[in-house]
Structure 1
Amino acid sequence: MQITLLLLSGFLFSVLFGMVIIPRILVISHKKRLYDVPDSRKVHTTPVPRLGGLSFFPVILMSMFLVIGFRLYFWDMDSSSLSFNMLYEYLFLFVGMTLLYLVGVCDDLVGVGYRYKFAVQIVSALLLVLSGNWFGSLGGLFGVYSVPAWVGIPVTVFIVVYITNAINLIDGIDGLASGLCSIALSVLSVIFFIRMQYVYALLAICTLGVLMPFWCYNVFGNANRGHKLFMGDAGSLTLGYVIGFLIIHQCVSNQVSPELPNPYMVIAFSTVLVPLLDVIRVVLHRLRNHRNPFLPDKNHFHHKLLRTGMRVRMVMVTILCVSIFFITLNLLLAKRMNITYLLFLNLFLWSLLHLSINRLISGERGRKRPVRNSDSSLPVFL
Structure 2
Amino acid sequence: MFDFSVLIYPACTAFLFAFVAIKVIKPLALEFGLVDTPTARKLHNGNVPLIGGISIFLAVLVATTIWLPNTQELRLYLIASAMMVFIGAVDDKYDLSVGVRLVGQLIIASLMIYGVGAYIHDLGNVFALGEIDLGWLGIPFTYFAIIVAINAFNMIDGIDGLVGSLSINTFAGISVLFIYQGHEGYISYALILATAIFPYLLFNLGIPEGKSRKIFMGDAGSMFIGLSVVWLLSEGSQGELRSFNAVTALYLTAIPLMDMLAIVIRRVKKGVSPLKPDRDHIHHILLRLGYNQRQTLIIISFIAAILSAVGILGEIYLVPESLMFALFLAIFAIYHGVFRSTKALNYFIKVPK
TM-score, length-scaled by structure 1? 0.82
CA distance in 1, matches of 2:341, 2:98: 34
Q: 1:310 to 1:46 in 2, by over 3 A?
A: farther
CA distance in 2, matches of 1:254, 1:269: 20
- Deviation string for 1:282-337 (max 9, x for gaps)? 11111111111122211111111111111011111111111111112222334554
- Deviation string for 1:192-215 (max 9, x for gaps)? 233333332111111112211110
1:282 corresponds, among 248, 257, 263, to 263
Q: Does 1:179 align with 2:161?
A: no
Greater Rg by CA: 1
Q: 1:171 to 1:215 in 2, by over 3 A?
A: same
Asked whether the 8 Å contact 2:203–2:215 carries over to 1, the reply is yes
The range that moved more, 163-172 or 223-232, is 223-232
Asked whether the 8 Å contact 2:92–2:218 carries over to 1, the reply is yes
1:349 corresponds, among 331, 339, 342, to 331
Q: Write the mapping of 1:181-220 to structure 2, written as runs, cut at 5 A.
A: 181-220=167-206
Paired position in structure 2 for 1:137: 122
CA distance in 2, matches of 1:254, 1:311: 46
Q: 1:363 to 1:55 in 2, by over 3 A?
A: closer
Asked whether the 8 Å contact 1:166–1:279 carries over to 2, the reply is yes
CA distance in 2, matches of 1:58, 1:276: 26
Q: Does 1:235 align with 2:225?
A: no
SS where residue 14 of structure 2 aligns? helix
1:89 corresponds, among 61, 73, 78, to 73
Q: Write the mapping of 1:318-329 to structure 2, written as runs, cut at 5 A.
A: 318-329=299-310
Task: Please state how far the C-alpha of 1:360 moved relative to its aligned partner.
Answer: 5.6
CA distance in 2, matches of 1:355, 1:269: 19
Aligned length: 344
* Aligned residue type for 2:313: L
The range that moved more, 127-136 or 115-124, is 127-136
* Aligned residue type for 2:163: A
Q: Does 1:301 align with 2:282?
A: yes
* Aligned residue type for 2:327: L
Q: 1:351 to 1:103 in 2, by over 3 A?
A: same
Paired position in structure 2 for 1:29: 29
SS where residue 278 of structure 2 aligns? coil
CA distance in 2, matches of 1:27, 1:128: 33
CA distance in 2, matches of 1:17, 1:201: 19
Q: 1:109 to 1:360 in 2, by over 3 A?
A: closer
Q: 1:108 to 1:198 in 2, by over 3 A?
A: same
Asked whether the 8 Å contact 1:309–1:364 carries over to 2, the reply is no
Task: Please state how far the C-alpha of 1:148 moved relative to its aligned partner.
Answer: 4.6
Q: Write the mapping of 1:148-167 to structure 2, written as runs, cut at 5 A.
A: 148-167=134-153
Q: Percent identity?
A: 26
Asked whether the 8 Å contact 1:14–1:206 carries over to 2, the reply is yes
Q: Write the mapping of 1:13-162 to structure 2, written as runs, cut at 5 A.
A: 13-68=13-68, 87-130=71-114, 131-142=116-127, 143=129, 145-162=131-148
Q: Does 1:332 align with 2:313?
A: yes
Task: Please state how far the C-alpha of 1:28 moved relative to its aligned partner.
Answer: 2.3
Which consecutive unaligned segments of at least 5 residues does structure 1 have?
A: 69-81, 257-261, 366-382
SS where residue 279 of structure 2 aligns? coil
Paired position in structure 2 for 1:372: none
Which consecutive unaligned segments of at least 5 residues does structure 2 have?
A: 348-353
The range that moved more, 224-233 or 177-186, is 224-233
SS where residue 141 of structure 1 aligns? coil
Paired position in structure 2 for 1:8: 8
SS where residue 174 of structure 1 aligns? coil
Q: 1:321 to 1:363 in 2, by over 3 A?
A: closer
Task: Please state how far the C-alpha of 1:354 moved relative to its aligned partner.
Answer: 4.7
Q: 1:183 to 1:224 in 2, by over 3 A?
A: closer
The range that moved more, 43-52 or 351-360, is 351-360
SS where residue 247 of structure 1 aligns? helix
Asked whether the 8 Å contact 2:106–2:143 carries over to 1, the reply is yes
Q: Does 1:245 align with 2:231?
A: yes
- Deviation string for 1:243-281 (max 9, x for gaps)? 11001111114567xxxxx95323333111111111111
Task: Please state how far the C-alpha of 1:357 moved relative to its aligned partner.
Answer: 4.5
Asked whether the 8 Å contact 1:46–1:224 carries over to 2, the reply is no
CA distance in 2, matches of 1:112, 1:279: 21
